[in-house]
A and B are shown apart, each in its own frame.
Chain A
Amino acid sequence: MARGENIDVSRRDVVKMAGASGLVGLSGVAGSASAQENPPIGNFPIQGNPTFGFTVPQSGPYSSEGQDELRAYRLAVEHLNNGGGWVDNWSDLTGNGVLGNQVEFVSGDTATDADTARQTARRMIQRDRAIMLSGGSSSAVAIAIQELCQREKVQYMCCLTHSNDTTGKSCVRYSFREMFNAYMSAQALVPPVTQEYGNDNNFYQLYADYTWGQTVQSSMSRFFGEAGWSELNSVATPLGTKDFSSYLSQVPRDRTDVLFLNHYGLDGANSLSQARDMGLDQDMEIIVPLYNRPMAQAAGGAIEGVFGTVAWDSQIDNPPSNQFTSAFNEKYSRVPSGPAQLAYAQTLQYAAAVERAGTFYPPEVIRQLEGYNYNNIGMGEETMRACDHQAQRAVPVVKGLPEGEQQQGQFFEIVNVTPRSKLGYACDEGPAGECELGPYE
């Protein structure tokens, strides 16, 4: 029955394609071949070479992260087309483009703002006819783009987005996330932090007032609460706040044992430096739940001894990590950051899924990624879970180095790479319990 339907669809499409090719002239051979098997959807079938769209923040509080992502995206496209880096040892990739087509890309600024990001993404989908989008950071941006992508039936490979909602209540079929979320950060932080600071502490939180900060705040409350800590207060700060001194002076110095600064990017660098300026670190411990390299660089010596988690770090010593670090270093003479590794990994993951599917037809590519097991991006054994499109993976916990020990590209010591067996949640609980992926077509 199902087979019969398939044949029926394909026959109709052959006729359709014949008419279409008369109008548009000669399109890519691979495009027409796969179109004969699959109905047009979103920007499929591709016309000419496949175009990837990279939506990164080039201005706003997360612009430093965006620049490093863009470098990695360029590198990924270069390797996909000409070989090099991971492409050389990924069995699914050839180094001669994707499905024999040279990959092209467009990039655009999200300005760390959901509305701007949506416009950028829409332009890439409609004008540039991108077959896949990828980018970050800011979870508000990622969620806005993935909603658009679901509507337009264009695949989105999230880069830097850490909110629980991305693969929780806002999850969509067309989006996948390699990055872990706030829930897993909290799970990863509890053991080393409670071991270091004890089991009976009062904590106070400042958090960025949008989806990401809110879910970090609630995850820290939950898991540190379960570990026996008591929360004194949580205060929301607007995204893009520069001067946190008024917020910081509200923190009760005599009663607070640990201060969580749930800020990221430039905001995180500013709030952490200002907390140090005010001498808060002399009265309490400070934790920054999610860190990265550009942010540590902007905060300078203020990160000393401060716990946090990172997406990935060049010090993680295994063949894929080292290979990526050396390829990136060779091209740009700099050590790659965690967001760069995510960007590179997500682009190659998508390309490999297309190769396995043998077509750019999105529902087929999505099925190739759902439930896919891999061990080739430097974070150990991973599964891209089918129920919520969230990678189940290890989370590195780090501690900031003193200014004197910081070198180019090295700002943290790795305290622990918490294995995935100690993290995560089942498909019917936590953020996944709220996820409904939506249709393939």
Chain B
Amino acid sequence: MSVLAEVVTVALNGLQQGAIYVLVAIGLSIILGTLKFVNFAHGALYLIGTYAGLLITLEINVTDGKLADWGYTPIGLEWGFLPALVIVPSVVFAVGLLMERFVARPFYDRPDTDQILLTFGLAIVVQEVFKILFGGQSYNFARPGWASGQVDLPIVGTFPEWRLYIIGITAAVVVLVYGLIEYTDFGLVVRAGTRDAEMVELLGIKLSRPYLMVFGVGAALAGVAGVVGGPLYAVNPNIGTEILVPSFLVVVIGGVGSITGAVLGGILIGETLAILVAVAPQWSQVGIYVLAAIVLLARPQGLLGVEEVTP
């Protein structure tokens, strides 16, 4: 492989790995930036998205857990991927609304530690519920038939088609969310609320509805990530916890509340992983934490984060 081909391949791999983190991190970041709510249960929303996607897309054979005990061994709708891409975010959006109303709202004025404890506990509960229902076993989430092959890219050569779709879907979702936040009245209120919530309220705008929506949108993004990322890895109840840590790193690196920051952070983490695997594999896991530490030392608010207005 020529040097150029190697560089481009690594870059593309990094972009693809970063894309899933971006999808999860944007939701995490806008919820944290706008609502000042530390949502450790965001990974659980990803988990719900993946299992919901699995059930809508395919029929799976459950051999473990309560569902199997109750006699529901083959379950799933076999509706295919595109319906899942619409239905799953809607379902997780609704879950997000419920979560904002009954979990997050009573805790907005409580310290971060309370929020972390609450949401972390909630994440474990969700994970265990899935384990009870579906068993702890791993399921194979097949890629959609229309994207299961490989494409021949110039320079790079063969590349898995589904991974290109992931980059494409992520880009589309990012543009959509960016448009929503930057160019709509709703986005204006949200952005103002991010900067100075008290001032917005003083202007007579009730923030509880935009807050509800922000939580819902953030959750729906985790749902999208779950469906899109599902076919990359074997699916089991631990995937929510596993995606949470790198996604938080993305938020920290990019800057809380910034969509472009989340994109930049995600790409940086994906590329760091891919480059380290190519040159020094044993450092690949440590590398992303070193990156986060360097960014935090140089720019505590993250690369594109803004310093908050302190009352």
Closest A residue to B1 using CB positions: A252
Closest A residue to B141 using CB positions: A300
Residues of A within 8 A of B163 (CB): 245, 277
A91 within 8 A of B: no
> What is the 8 Å Cβ interface bit string for chain A, positions 247-261, against chain B (1 contact, 0 not)?
101101100000000
B115 within 8 A of A: no
Nearest 7 interchain pairs by C-beta: A300-B140, A298-B138, A246-B277, A298-B234, A279-B150, A277-B160, A246-B274
CA distance in complex: A297, B134 (Å): 14
A242 within 8 A of B: yes
Please report which residues of chain B, range 40-72, place their CB below 8 angstroms from some CB of chain A when the two chains form the complex.
61, 63-64
Whether A246 and B136, one on each chain, are in contact in the complex, defined by CB atoms closer than 8 angstroms, is: no
Please report which residues of chain B, range 8-41, place their CB below 8 angstroms from some CB of chain A when the two chains form the complex.
9-10, 13-14, 16-17
CA distance in complex: A409, B125 (Å): 30
Please report which residues of chain A, range 148-207, place their CB below 8 angstroms from some CB of chain B when the two chains form the complex.
none
A429 within 8 A of B: no
> What is the 8 Å Cβ interface bit string for chain B, positions 193-218, against chain A (1 contact, 0 not)?
00000000000000000000000000
The 15 sampled A-B contact pairs (Cβ below 8 Å) are A237-B281, A238-B284, A245-B16, A246-B10, A246-B277, A247-B277, A249-B10, A269-B140, A273-B140, A277-B150, A277-B163, A294-B138, A297-B139, A334-B63, A408-B63
A414 within 8 A of B: no
A266 within 8 A of B: yes
Please report which residues of chain A, range 275-301, place their CB below 8 angstroms from some CB of chain B when the two chains form the complex.
277-279, 294, 297-301
- How close is A130's CB to chain B, nearest CB, in angstroms? 24
Stretch from A31-39, A58-66, A82-90, A317-325 contacting the other chain: A58-66
Whether A270 and B233, one on each chain, are in contact in the complex, defined by CB atoms closer than 8 angstroms, is: yes
A243 within 8 A of B: yes
Residues of A within 8 A of B277 (CB): 246-247, 250
- How close is A369's CB to chain B, nearest CB, in angstroms? 32
Residues of A near any B CB (own CB < 8 A): 58-60, 63-64, 66-67, 209, 235-238, 242-243, 245-247, 249-250, 252-253, 266, 269-270, 273-274, 277-279, 294, 297-302, 334, 408
Number of interface residues of B (CB under 8 A): 40
- How close is B143's CB to chain A, nearest CB, in angstroms? 7
CA distance in complex: A279, B151 (Å): 10
Residues of A within 8 A of B160 (CB): 245, 274, 277-279
CA distance in complex: A64, B138 (Å): 7
- How close is B64's CB to chain A, nearest CB, in angstroms? 7
> What is the 8 Å Cβ interface bit string for chain B, positions 123-151, against chain A (1 contact, 0 not)?
00000000000011111101100000110
Among candidates B142, B158, B242, residue contacting A253 with C-beta atoms closer than 8 Å: B158
Among candidates B135, B149, B238, residue contacting A67 with C-beta atoms closer than 8 Å: B135
Residues of A within 8 A of B143 (CB): 277
CA distance in complex: A209, B281 (Å): 10
Among candidates B17, B61, B149, residue contacting A243 with C-beta atoms closer than 8 Å: B17
B162 within 8 A of A: yes
CA distance in complex: A274, B162 (Å): 11
Known A64-B138, A277-B143, A279-B150; contact A299-B281, beta-carbon cutoff 8 A:
no
Whether A246 and B285, one on each chain, are in contact in the complex, defined by CB atoms closer than 8 angstroms, is: no
- How close is A63's CB to chain B, nearest CB, in angstroms? 5
- How close is B70's CB to chain A, nearest CB, in angstroms? 12
Closest B residue to A277 using CB positions: B160
Whether A250 and B135, one on each chain, are in contact in the complex, defined by CB atoms closer than 8 angstroms, is: no
Instruction: Name the prevailing secondary structure of the A interface residues.
Output: helix
Whether B1 and A209, one on each chain, are in contact in the complex, defined by CB atoms closer than 8 angstroms, is: no
CA distance in complex: A243, B277 (Å): 11
Known A236-B282, A246-B277, A253-B158; contact A266-B234, beta-carbon cutoff 8 A:
yes
- How close is A154's CB to chain B, nearest CB, in angstroms? 28
CA distance in complex: A279, B159 (Å): 8
Please report which residues of chain B, range 266-286, place their CB below 8 angstroms from some CB of chain A when the two chains form the complex.
273-274, 277-278, 281-282, 284-285
CA distance in complex: A269, B139 (Å): 10
Whether B136 and A63, one on each chain, are in contact in the complex, defined by CB atoms closer than 8 angstroms, is: yes
B119 within 8 A of A: no
- How close is A264's CB to chain B, nearest CB, in angstroms? 13
Whether A297 and B162, one on each chain, are in contact in the complex, defined by CB atoms closer than 8 angstroms, is: no
B232 within 8 A of A: yes
Whether B234 and A269, one on each chain, are in contact in the complex, defined by CB atoms closer than 8 angstroms, is: yes
Among candidates B1, B14, B61, B136, residue contacting A64 with C-beta atoms closer than 8 Å: B136
Whether A209 and B158, one on each chain, are in contact in the complex, defined by CB atoms closer than 8 angstroms, is: no
Known A64-B137, A236-B281, A278-B159; contact A249-B63, beta-carbon cutoff 8 A:
no
B83 within 8 A of A: no
Known A279-B160, A294-B137, A299-B140; contact A249-B9, beta-carbon cutoff 8 A:
yes
- How close is B162's CB to chain A, nearest CB, in angstroms? 7
Whether B157 and A253, one on each chain, are in contact in the complex, defined by CB atoms closer than 8 angstroms, is: yes
B236 within 8 A of A: yes
Closest A residue to B16 using CB positions: A245
Whether B16 and A278, one on each chain, are in contact in the complex, defined by CB atoms closer than 8 angstroms, is: no
Closest B residue to A276 using CB positions: B160
Among candidates A236, A238, A298, residue contacting B139 with C-beta atoms closer than 8 Å: A298
Knowing that A245-B13, A277-B143, A298-B236 are A-B contacts, what are 13 other residue pairs whose CB atoms are under 8 Å apart, sorted by A's residue number?
A: A238-B281, A246-B17, A253-B158, A270-B233, A273-B234, A274-B232, A277-B160, A277-B163, A278-B160, A299-B140, A299-B234, A300-B140, A408-B61
Residues of A within 8 A of B9 (CB): 249
Residues of B within 8 A of A297 (CB): 137-140
CA distance in complex: A34, B274 (Å): 61
Query: Which of A238, A249, A250 has the largest number of chain B CB atoms within 10 A?
Result: A249
CA distance in complex: A246, B281 (Å): 10
Residues of A within 8 A of B232 (CB): 242-243, 274
Residues of B within 8 A of A249 (CB): 9-10, 13
CA distance in complex: A103, B61 (Å): 35
CA distance in complex: A242, B236 (Å): 12
Whether A250 and B278, one on each chain, are in contact in the complex, defined by CB atoms closer than 8 angstroms, is: yes
- How close is A166's CB to chain B, nearest CB, in angstroms? 23
Whether A278 and B234, one on each chain, are in contact in the complex, defined by CB atoms closer than 8 angstroms, is: no
Residues of B within 8 A of A294 (CB): 137-138
CA distance in complex: A156, B273 (Å): 39
CA distance in complex: A252, B278 (Å): 13
CA distance in complex: A153, B64 (Å): 36
Known A277-B143, A278-B150, A299-B234; contact A266-B138, beta-carbon cutoff 8 A:
yes
Residues of A within 8 A of B136 (CB): 58-59, 63-64, 66-67
